[in-house]
Amino acid sequence: MTLFSMPTSRPGRALAATLVLAGLLPARARSAGPSPADRAIAAAEQKLAGNRPDAYVELATAFMRKSRESADPSYYARAAAALDRALALDSDDYDALRTRAWVLLGQHDFRAALAAAERARGLRPEDWWNYGTLADACVELGDYERAEVAAQRMLDLRPGLPAYTRAAFLRTVFGDRPGAIELLARAARAGSPRDPESLAWTLVYLGHEYFATGKLAAAAAAYTRALAVLPDHYLALGSLARVRAAEGRLDEAAALYRQAVARVPSPDLVSALGDVHAAAGQADEAEHEYALVDYMGQVAEATGTTYGRQLALFYADHDRRLPDALRLAEQEATMRGDIYTDDALAWALYKNGRPAPAARAAHRALRLGTEDALLEYHAGLIAAAAHHPRRAARHLRRALGLNPYFDLRQAPIARARLAALDAPARIVLGGKE
Amino acid sequence: MHTRRRYTLAAAGLALGLWAVPAGAASHREAPLMTLDPGADITDVYAFVSYDADNVARPLAERRVTLIMNAVPGQEPGSGPNYFAFDDNVLYVLHVDNNRDGVAEDVSYEFEFNTQVENPDQFLATLGGGPLPPIDTLDAAGLSRKQRYTVTEVRNCRKGGRKCDRTVLFGGKALLTVPSNIGPRTMPQYEALAAQGIYTDPDTNIRVFAGQRAETFAIDLGAVFDTLNLRRPLPAQSAAEDADDTKNPFGFNNFSGFNVNTIALEVPITRLTKDGKAPTAETGTIGMYASTSRQKETVRRGAPAINPKKPPRELLRGEKRFVQVSRMANPLVNELIIPIGNKDLWNATEPEDEGLLLRFYQNLQVADALQAVSGVPVPPKPRDDIVHLLTQYADQKVSDPPFAELLRLDTTVDPTPVDKIRRLGPFAHDADGKATPDMAGFPNGRRPNDDVTDLVVRVAGGKNYIENFVGDGVGIQEKGITPAFPFLPTPYDGRDRKHLDPGE
Amino acid sequence: MKTASLTLAMTLLATVARAHPLGNFTVNRYAALRVERGAIGVHYVVDMAEIPTFQERKLIDANGDQTIDAAEQEAYVAGRVAELARNLTLTVDGAALALDADAHALEQPPGAGGLPTLRLEAWLSAPLDPTRGAVAFADRNFAGRPGWQEVVAEGSPGMAVTDSSVPRVDRSRALRAYPADQLQSPPQVTEARFRISPGATPAPAAGSASPVRIGAARFSDRMTELIATRAPLGPWLVFTSLLVAAALGALHALSPGHGKTVVGAYLVGTRGTARHALFLGLVVTATHTLGVYLLGILTLTASAYVVPERLFPWITAVSGLIVLAIGASLAASRLQTALAGHAGAHHHHADNHTHLHPQDHHHGHDHHAHAHLPPDGTPAGWRSLLALGVSGGLLPCPSALVVMLGAIALGRVAFGLLLIVAFSAGLAAVLTTVGLVLVYARHLFDRLPLDGRLARFAPVASALVISLAGLVIVAQAIAQMGV
């Protein structure tokens, strides 16, 4: 007779106990063990054998967490695949539908995200989640009114970190940075050490708000707190580097940027590192970094992906490949309608010697009354090129007044141009006297 | 051979713009969507006639009742440097129904917190011990971050809640939250420190405490939520095992070694009864729940709320409006009865609207799960017994409204003295299976050491499960029963904490 | 329109271009540990996507002349490998082992748009003195950098690896072929812990010489795969699964046991017809299926009190006893008949017939075409057949039980039950075939002039074989109980 042994583990006997326990423990200093997202992925994978839609939705959600943690965009595609499977099993699965909007946002398919969010909201109008995805999609498409309505509904249904951060962003674009800071502080308070990535993200955002108003010390404090919550967080590293550079501590800035780039080599981090080298007089090193950004653009083209306006701004800022800058900015403008896309288009048009359409785009960028030094700076130079010196001076003065450190490379240019614009007036006045 | 994958533009450009752009806007679209809100997350609610020796000895008219809500769950004690505190932006409220109409707004207690950082230059929020003076008072200099709170009693609300009688208790004195138990060097006499956090109002005899305590909820969480994969194939216990409140027969307590934040309030019963007199059979049963709320915000500051076609439930506090974020009364309702897709909605609704959700109680899916996993039959649906137990007062007929998910406490029942407390309350029995009920336990109110997991499982499973003493095998935790206010044990300290693993 | 043509151009380009499968800025890492007597070898691979490759080129192009010659490349690899090795820690019971690079290799396979990627390979080894202990390995290279991070560990014929936190076999063929399944997340493992001891690593399943045996032993794995498949249960899948199950059942029947001997012996010894053989087959199927179901139910509901491992020997014993009883009674009655001699062609009817007058037997000698054979005494009684069938199917295959319980645990109850039926049918088919073969073979025998006492006692012999088989079954059962 055949001998046998009874299976020692039934199918489905998950590592639930360990994983639940792990879920209760807050993330500590970065250790080589599995991250919270890794654990979430493992837990979700255990449940796939049942072949039910909710298991795939859980997997998709875990992939999204991983994408945030690691800044690896390939996880968006994985999340999408998992949701496809869930929807293949049940095309009306609500959780899959609402999560799909989120994934589409990550993939920058904003129109599809909007449609998905609306569909989910139609199914469950009382679910706060859908107002989050709606608000996000509307913002990207430039429909700020609708975004405000969605964000308000989210605040009404479920106040907390996700709602506060979105409302904070809208306060910023509507020109109320102190109000944004108030909400972000509240959001940071509501964060949990058991979800360190969200908390760190919020603190970085808070830091940006401080930086945008020239409060370097407060910004640095926020970024440092973010690093305490999630060591090696690349956003925090890059942002802190920017503060150090603004403070003139170029060596520290370079080191921090390098650390950030070692984690996630993104065009703006690499470009910023190049700017630091340039500011320190290290032209060769700077060029090396810029060449890498060029290369990234090449790779992106080769793979049919896009860095969006990051690359357009890089080219325009550094007067390289200006036609590509414009092309990329125009491409972006077909997919998004937010004020920062308008601004990138304006800047690219300006650098390509087309001040009239640039002025129109810059005007659109400032339509909400946002108090943003970079927007003002671009508008200023564009106005100058369009032969409106007084307007130009106004914009430049505003820019420097809002944040004199707004960009390591551009701020000195702004100062110089403002001085030049002011100088003729003095000469005239001096002459009269 | 490489397996290559192609990306096409049509497949939506990759999101390589994840990062916050130093040159401008933050990537708000990547704003988080998952929400853990520990400060507003209520883990447990307790309501019982105080069982300290003094209160046991008092006559009924003078007895006190303790109401407790726990929040900020799963505190790993060693979580420096920030440790744990209540959320200043959350309003914590204990609500009482004393006229059996299911609306628990007859008497409420509101707790509001405010943290001050007294010494922003101090690099660690808590500095003490070793060469420095240890932290031995709640307002020690070494505690640079101090959280104070006020307690407001609210009665007699009218005009839809806009006008109420509000009394700030404790003479308006700001009370101090008891900080987290960091360790023996920083806080060498933690219990003494914590005792300073028990405030008594001599005029009203109300006592209050807010601060960190050890978690008393004992459950084999991993096993229970691994589809009832309990550590004994048939999780039945013998009468002797079940009657023994000193050992866990076969489960493992996942909450071992964790702390939680506690708000505990002890009030004389007469303060809660509807006529202000000693409780009687008529007036002695109260219903209660706890809630956390966040203030309503507008996207634009100062703007009126936009387009509130159907404004969600609001808590009004004078002119301020709050949105309820979490509520709790009976244990394990949200976890075991309300399905996943409805949990957020449930948290935002009022207990008295539970009539809209009765189908979840009647269809009790957890009972189906029990039957599927163990094969032992459960009572047939609809489970009106569950509906009655959790949403009605004892004398209500099953089909009669109101249905309110409240924790109901009969204050005329004598508190059981500490040495006689049984974790199974009314279902307690001796080693031979003979019933020896302790009527002061859940579902008559809830005490911190009641084994609600076993009780809920048995009530859900019905006769067969009750007779076979089914449970998760975990009924007690190592700190035992705390005999005095606030009735929850000293928290595990951050340095020496231990979590017991299965088999230890 | 400009945008449209641009889009088109990029799409066209995209169809030609290929990207690194894991993303353009990943740095993928792989470490394969192999424990041998006296040394631990580490095969370490780094696969950089296009962008980090570009960054790396600065290191390779030491003299900055924008070209890379062989010397620069060699110098780079040697140096880089040394640097990478420094970030690998390998310890045995806490004591660090020094890793030395034995060999290295560098490739630059083309990636997106022909842009280079980088594949750096190193073979490292460390001397290993102890033959027992706990080994820990950690890779701190490129910490935090997104990418595939995989570690595997295996032993060798002289050294066993046990209690390993990492698998033996990798999923990427040393970073040459990443799985295309989007739902499989890349491993993020940079550490490994395992124990070593001398000897061979224990094989994952009990090996057996007979290939049929192996097939049967892996039956439950394959069946479980069928059930555990994530693909939705379309009709085609169900159909093919049932076929596979039946095939596996048939295969299983070919392995020793399941009463083939018994059935065969019985049918030889009686005047069994094809119909009997078929009936037997049916009974076995039904009994086997029912047996699995019953045992499954018993296991599920009473598993605290009844552990199936304990049950099986008892069932085996019962089955063996039934067989033994049938065999013994047959042997006894046939012996009687055989000893009773040639008294009659008349006695080729059932032994409970009394002697009949010769006058009654004038049905004709056509029935006696095989009169050379002594009377067998008992034609194939349906009751005996039933009993035999039951005994043959009584012992449910443990693997079938496993599969059914597994199916229930996975929620695929109906599918699991169907598979069991198919399996039982396959099993029965084999038995029936054996029976049919023997039935027709016997017809052949019948034509052979077999004479004498040998022939006369053949039925007795067959009955004895049956009894012996029953005895063996019981003995095995007892042995199992003792285990």
Q: Do residues B36 and A194 lie in contact, with contact meaning Cβ atoms separated by under 8 Å?
A: yes
From chain C, the residues in CB contact with A334 under 8 A are 3
Chains linked to B by 3 or more Cβ pairs within 8 Å: A, C
State the nearest Cα–Cα gap between B18 and chain A, in angstroms.
Answer: 7
- Strand-pairing partners, residue B285, are B410
What does the mean pLDDT of chain A come to? Answer: 88
Residue-level pLDDT at A300: 85
From chain A, the residues in CB contact with B14 under 8 A are 73, 76, 107-108, 305-306
pLDDT > 90? residue C230: no
Distance between CA atoms of residues C24 and A303, nearest Å = 9
| Structural domain ending residue among the three candidates A218, A246, A263 | A263
What does the mean pLDDT of chain C come to? Answer: 72
| Structural domain ending residue among the three candidates A263, A281, A297 | A263
- pLDDT tens per residue, range A257-305: 999 999 888 899 999 999 999 999 999 999 999 999 999 988 888 887 7
Name the closest residue on chain C to residue A296, using Cα atoms: C51
Q: Do residues B249 and B472 lie in contact, with contact meaning Cβ atoms separated by under 8 Å?
A: no
Distance between CA atoms of residues A147 and A131, nearest Å = 9
From chain C, the residues in CB contact with A88 under 8 A are 232
**Per-residue tokens: B445:** 């109110």
If you average pLDDT over residues B33-59, what whole number do you get? 92
Window 321-380 of A, Cβ < 8 Å to C: 327, 330-331, 334
What contacts A433, CB < 8 A, 6 or more positions away? none
State the nearest Cα–Cα gap between A432 and chain B, in angstroms.
Answer: 41
Residue-level pLDDT at B228: 67
**What b-and-e string marks burial along B33-49, b requiring 16 or more CB atoms within 10 Å of the CB?**
bbbbbbbbbbbbbbbbb
State the nearest Cα–Cα gap between B2 and chain C, in angstroms.
Answer: 5
Residue-level pLDDT at B82: 58
Contact A162 B308 (CB under 8 A): no
A341 within a domain of the structure (yes/no) = yes
Distance between CA atoms of residues B60 and A282, nearest Å = 84
If you average pLDDT over residues A382-394, what whole number do you get? 95
Contacts made by residues A422-428, CB under 8 angstroms, sequence distance 24+: A422/A393, A424/A389
Q: Which helix (H) or strand (E) holds C217?
A: helix C211-217
CATH of the domain at A394: 1.25.40.10
- Strand-pairing partners, residue C100, are C125
**Per-residue tokens: C132:** 């027992």
Of the given ranges (A179-188, B410-419, C263-272), which has the lowest mean pLDDT?
C263-272
Place of tokens 């690079």: C101
Nearest CA-CA partner of A212 in A241, A244, A238, A178: A178
- List the single residue in B3, B9, B232 with the smallest CB-CB distance to C10: B9
What contacts A105, CB < 8 A, 6 or more positions away? A113, A133, A136, A137, A140, B29
- List the single residue in B3, B10, B375 with the smallest CB-CB distance to C301: B375
Position with higher pLDDT, C438 vs C228: C438
The answer to whether B34 contacts chain C (CB < 8 Å) is no
Contact A165 B31 (CB under 8 A): yes
Query: What amino acid is encoded at A276 in this protein?
Result: V
| C-alpha to C-alpha distances, C23 to B13, C29, C57, nearest whole angstrom | 13, 14, 19
If you average pLDDT over residues C235-241, what whole number do you get? 71
- Strand-pairing partners, residue B114, are B148
* Percent of residues in chain B assigned helix, strand, coil, to nearest 5: 20, 25, 55
Radius of gyration of chain A (CA): 24
Chains linked to A by 3 or more Cβ pairs within 8 Å: B, C
Nearest CA-CA partner of B41 in B296, B266, B324: B324
If you average pLDDT over residues B399-411, what whole number do you get? 93
Which of C10, C24, C185 to mutate to probe the A interface, most A CBs <10 Å?
C185
Q: Is the peptide bond before B486 cis (omega within 30 degrees of 0)?
A: yes
Q: How many residues does chain A have?
A: 433
DSSP letters, C392-420, are HHHS--HHHHHHHHHHHHTT-HHHHHHHH
Q: Is the peptide bond before B382 cis (omega within 30 degrees of 0)?
A: yes
Taking the CA atoms of A179, A182, A186 and A187 in sequence, report the sign of the dihedral they define. positive
Name the closest residue on chain A to residue B115, using Cα atoms: A189
Through-space distance between the first and last CA atoms of chain B, rounded to whole angstroms: 49
- Strand-pairing partners, residue B267, are B65
Q: Is the peptide bond before B489 cis (omega within 30 degrees of 0)?
A: no
Q: Do residues C345 and C371 lie in contact, with contact meaning Cβ atoms separated by under 8 Å?
A: yes
pLDDT > 70? residue A5: no
B464 pLDDT band, cuts 50/70/90, is confident
Query: What amino acid is encoded at A256 in this protein?
Result: L
pLDDT > 90? residue B473: no
pLDDT > 50? residue C349: no
If you average pLDDT over residues A82-98, what whole number do you get? 94
What contacts A331, CB < 8 A, 6 or more positions away? A306, C3, C6, C7
Domain that holds residue A357: 328-433
Domain ranges of chain C: 27-219, 222-480
What contacts B43, CB < 8 A, 6 or more positions away? B70, B71, B73, B215, B217, B260, B328
| C-alpha to C-alpha distances, B317 to B153, B162, B308, B314, nearest whole angstrom | 12, 7, 19, 9
State the nearest Cα–Cα gap between C10 and chain B, in angstroms.
Answer: 7
- pLDDT tens per residue, range A231-241: 889 999 999 99
Distance between CA atoms of residues B491 and B212, nearest Å = 6
Position with higher pLDDT, C418 vs A29: C418
- Strand-pairing partners, residue C31, are C44, C151
Contact A81 C230 (CB under 8 A): no
- What pTM value is reported for the model? 0.74
- Largest alpha-carbon pair distance within chain C? 120
- Strand-pairing partners, residue C353, are none
What does the mean pLDDT of chain B come to? Answer: 82
Domains identified in chain A, total number: 2
Name the closest residue on chain A to residue C49, using Cα atoms: A299
Which runs of E-coded beta strand occur in B98-161? 107-117, 145-158
A117 within a domain of the structure (yes/no) = no
Distance between CA atoms of residues A251 and A232, nearest Å = 18
Position with higher pLDDT, B19 vs C271: C271
A14 within a domain of the structure (yes/no) = no
Residue-level pLDDT at C331: 77
**Per-residue tokens: C219:** 């039956």
Residue-level pLDDT at A2: 30
C-alpha angle B207-B444-B202 in degrees, rounded to nearest 5: 15
**Per-residue tokens: C221:** 């794995």
Residue-level pLDDT at C416: 67
Phi-psi region of B71 (alpha: psi -120 to 50; beta: other; left: phi over 0): beta
Contact C303 B234 (CB under 8 A): yes
Contact C190 A32 (CB under 8 A): yes
- List the single residue in B5, B6, B236 with the smallest CB-CB distance to C15: B6
Residue-level pLDDT at B343: 85
Hey, is C58 helix, strand or coil? helix
| C-alpha to C-alpha distances, B98 to B104, B288, B409, C153, nearest whole angstrom | 7, 9, 10, 67
A37 within a domain of the structure (yes/no) = no
- pLDDT tens per residue, range C369-428: 333 333 444 455 677 777 767 766 665 555 565 556 545 545 566 776 777 778 777 877
- pLDDT tens per residue, range C90-139: 999 989 999 998 999 999 999 888 889 999 999 999 998 888 899 999 99
Chains A & B: contacts with CB separation below 8 Å = 256
Q: Do residues B151 and B266 lie in contact, with contact meaning Cβ atoms separated by under 8 Å?
A: no
pLDDT > 80? residue C367: no
**Per-residue tokens: C257:** 């046991």
From chain A, the residues in CB contact with C257 under 8 A are 1-2
